[in-house]
């Protein structure tokens, strides 16, 4: 859990490192795909409504909170 929420991360044993690395790799691929889609839509602003843009900002802001935990 993110430190900002006042909760302690649920640390995993080193034996779970491969699983964590796989999860992070998949998250990176997803983020890169989303970035590519958003860059494609950038020149066609009519493709994304305000709700969609707000939701994208919310999801990636929530994910950003975990960067410090992943770094540790």
- DSSP, collapsed to helix, strand or coil, labels residue 64 as helix
pLDDT of 2 over the 60 cut: no
* Per-residue model confidence (pLDDT) at position 5: 58
The pLDDT tens digits of the residues spanning 6-65 come to: 678 788 899 999 998 998 899 889 889 988 888 888 888 788 888 988 898 898 888 888
Number of structural domains found in the chain: 1
Residue 27, in any domain of the structure:
no
pLDDT of 1 over the 50 cut: no
Q: How many CA atoms lie within 13 A of 27 on its CB side?
A: 13
Q: Provide the token pair at 40.
A: 């494609």
pTM summary value? 0.62
Residue 54, in any domain of the structure:
yes
Residue 7, in any domain of the structure:
no
Q: How far out from the chain centre does Cα 36 lie?
A: 15
Residue 10, in any domain of the structure:
no
């Amino acid at each position: 859990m993110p430190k900002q929420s006042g909760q302690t991360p649920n640390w995993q044993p080193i034996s779970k490192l491969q699983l964590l690395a796989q999860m992070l790799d998949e998250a990176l691929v997803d983020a890169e795909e989303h970035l590519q889609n958003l860059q494609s839509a950038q020149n066609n602003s009519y493709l994304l409504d305000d709700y969609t843009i707000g939701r994208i900002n919310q999801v990636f802001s929530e994910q950003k909170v975990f960067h410090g935990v992943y770094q540790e």
